[in-house]
């Protein structure tokens, strides 16, 4: 059974940093790409970042490029999102989403999300 579990959301001041984690089970990272998708309060879905399954290629939305870094630890079956220079507009629920398989990035499994609030 596939499971996706995010953690690490918190209240952080503007300019601060935070690292989110996404622990997965029921599949291995080499078979599919995994992405971070966020949703600001009362807003729609925004794709943020992706990590390609077979290899180390990473991808970012323009809105976070240069500030966010995605990485993974295969031994721990965990994907991370390091978020630096946080802004108020980064406030959102952050979801970890599994792509069906490498190159076919529709999301068949989602976590329940973790809330990041950027505020002073």
Partner 1 sequence: EIVMTQSPATLSVSPGEGATLSCRASQTVSSDLAWYQQKPGQAPRLLIYGASTRATGIPARFSGSGSGTEFTLTISSLQSEDFGFYYCQHYNKWPLTFGGGTKVEIK
Out of 34, 68, 107, 114, the residue judged to bind partner 1 by CB under 8 A = 107
Helix, strand, coil shares of the chain, percent, nearest 5, are 10, 55, 40
Radius of gyration of the chain (CA): 13
**Quick one: 29 or 99, whose CB is closer to partner 1?**
99
With binding defined as CB under 8 A, does residue 61 bind partner 1?
Answer: yes
Of 9-17, 22-30, 76-84, 107-115, the segment contacting partner 1 by CB under 8 A is: 107-115
Q: How far apart are CA 117 and CA 103, in angstroms?
A: 32
With binding defined as CB under 8 A, does residue 101 bind partner 1?
Answer: no
**Please, which residues bridge with residue 96 across strands?**
36
Q: How far apart are CA 81 and CA 67, in angstroms?
A: 10
Out of 45, 67, 78, 115, the residue judged to bind partner 1 by CB under 8 A = 45
Binding site for partner 1 (CB under 8 A): 35, 37, 44-47, 50, 59-62, 95, 99-100, 104-108, 110-113
């Amino acid at each position: 059974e596939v499971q996706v579990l995010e953690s690490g959301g918190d209240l952080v001041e503007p300019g601060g940093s935070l690292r989110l984690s996404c622990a997965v089970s029921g599949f291995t990272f080499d078979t599919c790409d995994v992405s971070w998708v966020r949703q600001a309060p009362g807003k729609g879905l925004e794709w943020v970042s992706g990590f390609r399954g077979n290899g180390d290629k990473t991808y970012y939305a323009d809105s976070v490029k240069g500030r966010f870094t995605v990485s993974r630890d295969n031994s721990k079956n965990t994907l991370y999102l390091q978020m630096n220079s946080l802004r108020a507009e980064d406030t959102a629920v952050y979801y970890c989403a599994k792509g069906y398989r490498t190159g076919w990035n529709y999301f068949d499994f989602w976590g329940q999300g973790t809330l990041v609030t950027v505020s002073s």
